[in-house]
Amino acid sequence: MRGLRAGFLTGLILFLGACTVSPDPGPEARAAAEQLSADINARSAFYSASPEQNEPDIKLFARVFERVRSDYVRSVDQDILLAAAATAIEDADPEPGESSRNWLVERAMKGMLESLDPYSTYLPENEYTAMKESMHGRFGGLGIQIAAPEKGGGIVVVSPLEGTPADRAGLRPGDIITHVDGKNIMGKTLREVVNELRGDVGTRVVLTIERESTSTFDVPLVRDVIRMDIVKWRLEGEFGYLRIASFTENAAEEVEDAVQEIRQHLGGRMAGLIIDLRNNPGGLLIESVAVSDAFIESGDIVSTKGRKRKQRYRATAGDIVGGLPIVVLINKGSASAAEILAGALKDHDRAILIGGRSYGKGTVQTIIPMGRGTAMKLTTARYFRPLGESVDGGIQPDVEAEDDIQTELDEGLARAIAELSRMASL
């Protein structure tokens, strides 16, 4: 496995099955593809491939273009899409004739999709494979989730994954990456930075970090194979402690198994549960819904609204802790799918939130297979908490408890235990 799988879990992801058929390109999409082909052909007469050999990729561009026109969360001016594709071609081929037609078509699709928002992109075969592997909880890289800021600047660390090179090096949510191996990345796109960070497992990379209240400093890291323990549990006196690192496949099943083990160890003495979502960058929509459903008896968990349809996800009867008090720990590294769980438990008065304001990402990305092992990741909907609020801007905790990095005490956990003790005694 190669490289950093940055940003893949930092989102709320919905997979469409491999059998999903993309809509046939309409006349606008076909015209856009013809324009793209003409632009590429006009750049040079020295391409090795003939226009006929390039036809499959031009058709793929038409299908991607049609998907954006029909399924993106809001309507988009197609002239703007074409302009973004043309700019991407010029950037990839500054000296006409240096790049193949197929490469330029791929660059055009990436440029078009990435102009929409920081989360949409085209995934060639290697990137699509890597993303699917990350959803299984094992991948290669630094163990860091990153996001592009809204107004340029460096790349923001959403969260380091527990037990990874980024975590061991002390990277924190909110850190700004300004340089990679001494190269300035300020103003670069998320995908450009990902390319800078990729490399063979065992190789070294140096990140320059800008952190609040400190001067910039360098952090050396060695790329590694990342194996994620999605769910961990332990006992805190008469309380159970449950750490959910991300919402990958089988997260809900692992949560239920962990709670069952906690209850078996504590027997009838279990007095409450702590769910730790700090630095949980998100993951799969269906997994976050299933985990929420495990603790909520009825009502809405989350609703999504796209251009074509609205959908509500509702809880089914049953609570795996039988109504015992719950405290949820969040911070600015708690994003997307983690915010669904925190928001649902808060809105149903099922839990108290402790910590810091969450990241605040309220959109859904759908993974759409496009054939030949490739896919596109497209923002298709916004999601809303049970009481109708978006999480844009983050979820404010009921009790603020920021950790003091100068001490070994986990202030958030200490406050959670204190709150559970108070709730259990009522």
Nearest to 248 by CA among 151, 337, 128, 352: 337
Q: Which helix (H) or strand (E) holds 84?
A: helix 78-92
SS3 assignment, position 409:
coil
SS3 assignment, position 90:
helix
In sequence order, the 6+-apart residues with CB closer than 8 A to the CB of 76 are: 68, 69, 116
Catalytic residue among 93, 175, 300, 347: 347
Q: How many CB atoms neighbour CB 393 within 10 A?
A: 13
Q: Is 336 a catalytic residue?
A: yes
Cite the beta strand spans of 16-154 per DSSP E.
Answer: 121-123, 138-141, 144-147
Beta carbons of 416 and 104 less than 8 angstroms apart: no
Beta carbons of 269 and 238 less than 8 angstroms apart: yes
Nearest to 303 by CA among 289, 316, 290, 283: 289
Catalytic residue among 336, 346, 358, 377: 336
Q: Which helix (H) or strand (E) holds 77?
A: none
| Alpha-carbon span 333 to 249, nearest angstrom | 20
In sequence order, the 6+-apart residues with CB closer than 8 A to the CB of 416 are: 274, 327, 329, 354, 401
- Total residues found in the chain within this entry: 426
SS3 content of the chain, % helix, strand, coil (to 5): 35, 25, 40
Catalytic residue among 332, 346, 361, 377: 361
Q: Residue 264, exposed/middle/buried by CB under 10 A (0-12, 13-18, 19+)?
A: exposed
Residue with tokens 């808060």: 346
Q: Residue 98, exposed/middle/buried by CB under 10 A (0-12, 13-18, 19+)?
A: middle
**What are the φ/ψ torsions at residue 91 (nearest 5 degrees)?**
-70, -35
Q: Which helix (H) or strand (E) holds 331?
A: none
Q: Is 218 a catalytic residue?
A: no
Q: Is 334 a catalytic residue?
A: no
* Residues with catalytic function: 336, 347, 361
